[in-house]
Structure formats: C-alpha cells, structure tokens
A and B are shown apart, each in its own frame.
Chain A
Amino acid sequence: MKILVCITNVPDTTAKISFTDNNTKFNKAGVQYIIGPYDDYALARAVELKEAQGGTITVLHVGEADSDPQIRKALAIGADDAIRVNTEPADSYYVATQIAHIAQQNSYDLILMGRESIDFNSGVVHGLVGEMLGIPSFSPVMKLDIKDGKAEFAREIDGGKEYLEATLPLVLGCQEPIAEWKIPNMRGIMTARTKPLQVVEPVSVDDMTSLESYSLPAPKGECKMIPVEEAEKLITLLRTEAKVL
C-alpha cells in the first residue's frame, strides 16, 4: 500500500501571534514550529498501518526550506521519503492543486491529511484534493482500518459518529483518537538524515485570493471577579449586565 501524508509546518500551539511589515507578514521571530497536530495524527496512523500491513509512506509538504526540520521529523517518525513543493502557499486552492499534481504522478492508495491546519484552519484542502483527483474524501476521521483494498472508518458528526466503508483510493482528514502521537526514537532520527527529500517546483495556479492584511482580536476587558460567598449574583449579572441569559 502506498500512503501519502500531507503535513503542515505551523507555529507551536502556545506561540504568540504577531505581524510585521504593516500587518502583512507573520512575525516568525522567536516562534517554534511543529508538524500540524492533526497531521501528526495522520502520520501516526500511517506508520501503524505500515507496521501492520507493509507499504510505503511518502510525506508531502507545500512550503519553503525552513520547513525541512519538520519534514525530517516526519521521516524520523517513520515515513520512507519526502517531497517538498518549493513555494510559499498562497491559499487552500493553491496548496490543493500542488498536492493533486504530485498525487496524479504517483497513484497513492491512501492520502492522509489533518482535519485542519492550525494556521489557516480551513478544513478544506482534503475536499479540494479529493475532487481534483476525482476520488472520495472524508473528514474528520477518528478511526481507520484497511482490509482488502477497502477502508473501514469512523467519522465524527454533530453529536456522534458514523461508521463508513469505501474502496481505495481515498483522501481522509484525520483527528484523534485515530492514533497516538509518535515520538521519533534515536534510530529513526539517525536514518531520517539519509532518507530522500525531493524538492520540486510548483505548478502554476490561477490567482484566486490575495492577502490584504492581518489583524489581532481586540484585547479582552477586565474579568469581573465575584466573591464566592456571593456566587449567586453571577446569574443576575449574566441576565442584566451581560444579557446572555
């Protein structure tokens, strides 16, 4: 089985977000980057499937060279090789077009992604790629097994789960508890250095959106503290002051 795992390179979940250049550039200073947490679940499940059933895992990232440490980490966790499309991603459509282009050349059985990136939070790249390739896509997937060329999986729906079955190839957006996050071991880190990381140039895509500016939310006002002996007052305040009851 050939598995493609698409990963993002994103600011750590605790990173402080700020912008430079008149609010048109993300300020990378002092920010630590990680593999997107949902992408990490996708990768972890891919590694488990490979361990159980054999196959190969290719990691794909659309982005610039400063993502290479995260790509190496994915190789250390258990991917066999990696492809980086060397470009600054413009928007979801752009990224999806690059991923679909790579996928068309390699016929993967399974394309795993995260349910969403934690920088753009779109939750749409899997659907775009699925449609561009003319194959089904599902998200968010929280359980996945492969049997005889078929995927059996569970998808989260409003207030519950649904269990589905579909024939490969498929594009799936993953979330926990599909697998446990994996930490690279020493051997993984050593072998990752020599695994192939192919850098390819992007295909051209029509200009769909362009960034005007970034902004930050308005600062939160003071928190009104209510002494615990008067806790009941809260309900009155929520009714009369905050007007949310």
Chain B
Amino acid sequence: MSVLIFVELDNGTIKKTSQEAIFYGAKVADMLQTSATVLAIGQASEEALSSAGKFGAAKVLHAADDKLNHENSLAYADVLTQAVQQEGSKVVVMAKSGLGDAVAARSAAKLKASVVSGVTDLPEVTGGFKVKRGIYTGKAFATVEVKSDIKVLVVKKNAVEVAENDGNAQVESFSPTLRDSDFAATVKEVQKASSELSLTEADIIVSGGRGMKGPENWDPLVDLANALGAATGCSKPVSDLDWRPHHEHIGQTGIKVAPNLYIACGISGAIQHLAGVNGSKCIVVINKDPEAPFFKAADYGIVGDVFDVLPRLTKAVEATK
C-alpha cells in the first residue's frame, strides 16, 4: 500500500521543504502501518537520494530520464500517477509550492483522488481520515474528513517538527511511460538567480518595506541578511516600484513564507502583508512609528529608524558569531 512522497530536487539534493514532506509522509505511514516510498524526478546521486531514509523513507523511486531534467508539472504528474499505481499507494504527500500544487492537482484528477492543499498538521486516522488545513490566507483553519480512496495531501512548511535518524533508503530506478502531451510547452528561457537563497526554503528572512525609502538604501538590510544567512523579501509597493524584484514580494498577492524568523524593516504591517507571513515562528518588527499595526503581530519590536538599527544589529550578529 505504502505512502508515496513526491520530492523536489535542487541541484541534485532533496529540498528542505521536501525533506519535511518525507518526514510527514513517514509519520502517516507509521499511523497506517505501512512504509514510506519517495519519488524523485530528475538528476541526483544515489547517495543524495538514499538520505531520504534519514527522514523515515524506506525506498526511493528515481525517475532519471533526461527529458525530465527540466521542472515540468505535466510530465511530473504523469510520472507520479504511474508510481502511485505501481506501489498501490493510498496516500500521496508533497510540499506546498507552485510545482507541488500543480503536480498534486493533475495527478489527483488522473487518480480520481481528492486533493487537500495547505495541510498544517498530521492527520487523524482513527474514525475517518481527517486533516487540518489553512484557509482564508492563514487567518483560519478547516478540519476536513477525506473520503476518497486515494488522498493527495499538499503540506505546508512547519506542519511537523523534523527529527533525523540514521536510516538509509534503498534507491530503485523508475522508468515511467512518457507521452508527447507531457511536453506540450516549449521552454524558451529560464531566468533564475542561482546563488540566491529561495524565500520558501529560507529559515530566516529579512524583509523591507517602503520605510527603506529607495532601492539605493537596501545595503544595510542585505548586510544583516548576509550576516544571518537569511533570504531577503519585500512588501508589495516595494516590488511594484521596482525597488526589488517581483519574486521577493511577500503577502496575500505574493509569496507566502513560513520561516523560523521574519525581520520586517520599515513595513507597516497591512493585513495583506501579514497574510503572507503569519506562518512564521518568530516575527521581529523594526519601525519608527510605535503605532504601526505590524507590532500587534510581532514577537519582538524595536521602535526606531531602520538606518540606525540595521547596521547595529549586523555588528551585533558579527561580534557574537
């Protein structure tokens, strides 16, 4: 029966959010008294893949056809569906992301399975299969009973606290049938800031708003981010004004993030911005206006000028490294 976990790779290693998904899937497998199998699509070494065992997987199916090197939700959904059929899996798990949602949706339709996206907790499996998911952009939760035979769960970051063990998963190659329709789109160009830490994966994010006053003032924010090993984000007006690239825009209409630490610099804390950060474990707000609404959603606050505070924080981090 097994629980099947679809993982995303980044330069041949399993992404952190996908490691969490494996851990989640392995927990569900324990509850259902079955084992956890991982599906990895794309190039990766056997060693990198067998590390899935550290998060509780027993086996990894590896689809390494060169045609699958480029991230392609149509083909990946086809591959996943065939893996589910081969393994007879009843629960399919993946991490929430643009790719995760697309692969989940298309494979759910192929498998006539229900798909629950935005799962925030482990399921309850006694007396029906019940999962909790985020709704209203983090402002509430819904607990739903999933009744279909096959269940596809798309799991949010921090749904489980990951603990590693010293297991190794057995890696098997998997050769699905690929169809022309899986390659219906031609990729013209990919623009990717390769060295950048991705916002959805980052443990720490330092984010700037209109209070930063202009793109030329971002250095102190980037310095703090570098000192902390953090990714950088911004509010919507900042990306609208082209002060920062669009993919850094966080909030209701941007990316939703769930880091351990979110440091907001010169961001007022409009509800649409909060909607993108309310999954964060700890929020720090630096704003010169003591009435800024963001303080109500924060764990730590400093009322002050970002241009005074940021360099001092950077120094403090570097001094105690």
List residues 299-319 of chain B with CB under 8 A from any CB of chain A: 299-304, 308-309, 312-313, 315-317
Given contacts A208-B147, A238-B300, 15 further A-B contacts (CB under 8 A): A19-B140, A124-B104, A124-B105, A130-B105, A131-B105, A137-B105, A138-B185, A139-B102, A215-B132, A216-B140, A217-B138, A225-B300, A226-B300, A228-B309, A242-B281
Among the 9-residue stretches B27-35, B43-51, B169-177, B270-278, the one with 4 or more Cβ atoms under 8 Å from chain A is: B270-278
Residues of B contacting A119 in the complex (Cβ-Cβ under 8 angstroms) = 135-136
Most chain A CB neighbours (cut-off 10 Å) among B139, B191, B228, B296: B139
Residues of B contacting A236 in the complex (Cβ-Cβ under 8 angstroms) = 316, 320
Among the 9-residue stretches A62-70, A90-98, A186-194, the one with 4 or more Cβ atoms under 8 Å from chain B is: A90-98
Query: Does B260 sit within 8 A of A, measured CB to CB?
Result: yes
Q: Taking A209-B116, A245-B228 as contacts, is the C-beta distance between A223 and B285 under 8 angstroms?
A: yes
Query: Does A199 sit within 8 A of B, measured CB to CB?
Result: no
CB distance from A7 to the nearest CB of B (A): 16
Q: Provide a sorted-by-A list of 29 A–B residue pairs whose CB atoms are within 8 angstroms.
A: A123-B117, A128-B106, A128-B115, A132-B109, A137-B105, A157-B98, A159-B196, A159-B247, A160-B190, A166-B186, A177-B246, A208-B147, A209-B144, A209-B146, A209-B148, A210-B147, A211-B145, A214-B143, A217-B278, A220-B296, A223-B298, A223-B301, A231-B302, A232-B312, A232-B313, A234-B284, A235-B316, A238-B282, A242-B300
Whether A238 lies near B130 (C-beta < 8 A) is: no
Q: Taking A209-B116, A213-B143, A238-B282 as contacts, is the C-beta distance between A136 and B105 under 8 angstroms?
A: no
The 8 A CB mask of B184-216 against A (1 = contact, 0 = none) is 111111111110101111001000000000000
Query: Does A43 sit within 8 A of B, measured CB to CB?
Result: no
Whether B74 lies near A124 (C-beta < 8 A) is: no
Query: Does A37 sit within 8 A of B, measured CB to CB?
Result: yes
Query: In whole angstroms, what is the CA distance A159 to B98 when docked?
Result: 12
Query: Does A164 sit within 8 A of B, measured CB to CB?
Result: yes
CB distance from B246 to the nearest CB of A (A): 7
The 8 A CB mask of A117-143 against B (1 = contact, 0 = none) is 011111111111011101011111010
Query: In whole angstroms, what is the CA distance A221 to B295 when docked?
Result: 11
A binding-site residues for B, Cβ under 8 Å: 11, 13-14, 17, 19, 37-38, 91-93, 96, 118-128, 130-132, 134, 136-140, 142, 152, 155-167, 175-177, 206-217, 220-221, 223-226, 228, 231-232, 234-239, 242, 244-245
Query: In whole angstroms, what is the CA distance A167 to B189 when docked?
Result: 17
Whether A127 lies near B106 (C-beta < 8 A) is: yes
Query: In whole angstroms, what is the CA distance A2 to B164 when docked?
Result: 52
Query: Does B122 sit within 8 A of A, measured CB to CB?
Result: no
**Beta-carbon nearest neighbor of B188 in chain A:** A163
Whether A224 lies near B300 (C-beta < 8 A) is: yes
Whether A122 lies near B118 (C-beta < 8 A) is: yes
Residues of B contacting A235 in the complex (Cβ-Cβ under 8 angstroms) = 313, 316-317, 320
Whether B309 lies near A231 (C-beta < 8 A) is: yes
Whether A215 lies near B296 (C-beta < 8 A) is: no
Shortest 8 CB-CB distances between A and B: which pairs? A127-B105, A131-B109, A228-B304, A160-B192, A208-B114, A124-B105, A232-B316, A123-B101
Residues of A contacting B193 in the complex (Cβ-Cβ under 8 angstroms) = 159-160
Residues of A contacting B1 in the complex (Cβ-Cβ under 8 angstroms) = none
Q: Taking A17-B136, A175-B253, A217-B140 as contacts, is the C-beta distance between A164 and B186 under 8 angstroms?
A: yes
Whether B134 lies near A160 (C-beta < 8 A) is: no
Residues of B contacting A131 in the complex (Cβ-Cβ under 8 angstroms) = 77, 105-106, 109-110
Pick the contact of B253 from A14, A17, A38, A226 — CB < 8 Å?
A38
CB distance from B226 to the nearest CB of A (A): 14
Query: Does B160 sit within 8 A of A, measured CB to CB?
Result: no
Whether A225 lies near B185 (C-beta < 8 A) is: no
Residues of B contacting A127 in the complex (Cβ-Cβ under 8 angstroms) = 73, 77, 101-106, 109
Residues of A contacting B137 in the complex (Cβ-Cβ under 8 angstroms) = 13, 118, 121
Residues of A contacting B99 in the complex (Cβ-Cβ under 8 angstroms) = 157
Residues of B contacting A210 in the complex (Cβ-Cβ under 8 angstroms) = 144-145, 147
**Beta-carbon nearest neighbor of A150 in chain B:** B186
Whether A226 lies near B261 (C-beta < 8 A) is: no
Query: In whole angstroms, what is the CA distance A156 to B130 when docked?
Result: 32
Whether A124 lies near B252 (C-beta < 8 A) is: no
Q: Taking A127-B101, A209-B145, A210-B144 as contacts, is the C-beta distance between A122 and B300 under 8 angstroms?
A: no
